Amino acid sequence: MNCILELTDLEYHYPNGPKALESVSLRLMQGEKIALVGPNGAGKSTLLLMLNGMLRPDSGTVRFRGEPISYSRKALMNLRKQVGFVFQNPDHQIIAPTVFQDVAFGPVNLDYTEEETKTSVDEALMYVGLTEFGRRPPHNLSGGEKKKVAMAGVLAMNPDVLVFDEPTSALDPDSARSIMELLDELHHAGKSIIISTHDVELAYTWADRIVLMDQGKIILCSKPTDAFSDKELLAEAKLSKPVLVELYDALCELGMAKSEKIPRSVLDIVGILGMEHHCCRGCKAPGFIVLEDADFLNEDLAERIVHDEAIQIIGGMGSVAKKQAKDYGIPLTYTHGVIDKCLLKAISGQNCLIITSGGMIKRVLSRVEEFNAESGNTIEIVTFDNYLHNN
């Protein structure tokens, strides 16, 4: 992977305040997901504000694609087109009287034509599931909807890097899950993403790499399983272990698990227990998973899906799949955590259909293959065309 953003020896003081960053160095690789984790005052938000030039370090260097960033107005405008920032509070970012006008603010200021602006805004609103919200005033929206408007405003400029300060802050659980699903979808579309969060559960299951911060310093940068297994470092960062790690530790102490792989999901726990106790095999024949590309869904296929009695579970993964399912009247059992939930159902003998598109298709295939290899299960996955041909 290529390095897309690099911070070297950053130092920063807020006026009349304490040192906010001290000797901070970090690299964000192309296509990577990083979570900054730490208590209030750790320096997470300050670090993020350095990434697209909203703050300038007292010393040290920020590089984008290998080049030190310039702080001229023109250079910063170009940088912010490529490094999009979504604030913790969307009210700090939403400024226009309608959703459409707000999302169009970036493209208009980048001198897009009227047609280019409309296309960019329409695509961004579709991506975040707010296609019909264009004429609405943002102040009438829920917190989760406002967060999506702020995201759409950034997506309309098609940045390579997405920066989120506390993306699920002050959101209800369903809205928080929806936002994180969007981040996963954007990652599968090739975006590099860096977030800050207090939520160790979210960071542990979502990120490729964890950056633990405290008092303006990076105290650890490693894989989630390493970061959240170190009791001393967690105590130093004033954090607790994720529940999954606590459960795994308890299972190991009871002699119920010996796997060297620390679980990062409920499905991983089930796989470990299945390998140790053979409780996932031999009880009943597993179900299978059918995979359908949402981009090729049509009325005829939708009707066959709805009336197929052999498929008990249907999951919609990604904005395109959810919209297509809604348009064609396909009832979705799952819209969050689709792959793992369908695998759990398949283990218990139920047949599932996953509707998705783009890079998420490859993710479904790799996750099923990974689970089969690690758990000893043999969950079959077939395309919808092959399923129809064989039935």
| pLDDT at residue 280, rounded to an integer | 46
**Helices 319-327 and 114-127: angle between axes, nearest 10 degrees:** 80
| pLDDT at residue 237, rounded to an integer | 84
Report residue 277's pLDDT band, with 50, 70 and 90 as the boundaries. low
The share of the chain scoring above pLDDT 90, in percent, equals 77
| pLDDT at residue 332, rounded to an integer | 97
Output the 3-class SS for 336-351: CCHHHHHHHHHHCCCC
Long-range pairs, 336-342, Cβ under 8 A, ≥24: 336/177, 336/178, 336/181, 337/177, 339/315, 339/363, 339/364, 339/367, 339/368, 340/265, 340/266, 340/267, 340/367, 341/313, 341/315, 342/289, 342/313, 342/315
Report residue 275's pLDDT band, with 50, 70 and 90 as the boundaries. low
Mean of pLDDT values over 84-104? 95
- Structure confidence by residue, pLDDT tens digits, 120-133: 999 999 989 899 99
Report residue 390's pLDDT band, with 50, 70 and 90 as the boundaries. confident
146 closest CA partner among 137, 155, 156 = 137
| pLDDT at residue 178, rounded to an integer | 87
pLDDT of residue 258 exceeding 70 = yes
| pLDDT at residue 335, rounded to an integer | 93
pTM: 0.89
The Cα 228–Cα 209 span in angstroms is 11
Structure tokens at 311: 């498929």
Report residue 283's pLDDT band, with 50, 70 and 90 as the boundaries. low
103-112, 290-299, 308-317, 368-377: least confidently modelled range? 368-377
- Structure confidence by residue, pLDDT tens digits, 319-351: 899 999 999 999 999 999 999 999 999 999 999
Output the 3-class SS for the chain: CCEEEEEEEEEEECCCCCEEEEEEEEEEECCCEEEEECCCCCCHHHHHHHCCCCCCCCEEEEEECCEECCCCHHHHHHHHHHEEEECCCHHHCCCCCCHHHHHHHHHHHCCCCHHHHHHHHHHHHHHCCCHHHCCCCHHHCCHHHHHHHHHHHHHCCCCCEEEEECCCCCCCHHHHHHHHHHHHHHHHCCCEEEEEECCHHHHHHHCCEEEEEECCEEEEEECHHHHCCCHHHHHHCCCCCCHHHHHHHHHHHCCCCCCCCCCCCHHHHHHHHHHHHCCCCCCCCCCEEEEEEHHHCCHHHHHHHHCCCCCCEEEECCHHHHHHHHHCCCCCCECCCHHHHHHHHHHCCCCEEEEECCHHHHHHHHHHHHHHHHHCCCCEEEEHHHHHHHC
- Structure confidence by residue, pLDDT tens digits, 220-244: 999 999 999 888 888 888 899 999 9
The Cα 354–Cα 344 span in angstroms is 13
pLDDT of residue 284 exceeding 80 = no
The Cα 379–Cα 316 span in angstroms is 19
* Opening angle at CA 182, ends 170 and 176, nearest 5: 20
| pLDDT at residue 278, rounded to an integer | 54
- Structure confidence by residue, pLDDT tens digits, 356-382: 999 899 999 999 999 998 888 889 999
The Cα 387–Cα 373 span in angstroms is 23
Query: CB-hemisphere CA count at 13 Å for 359?
Result: 10
| pLDDT at residue 174, rounded to an integer | 87
39 closest CA partner among 205, 192, 208, 166 = 166
Average model confidence (pLDDT) across the chain: 92
Sign of the dihedral through C-alpha 28, 29, 31, 34? negative
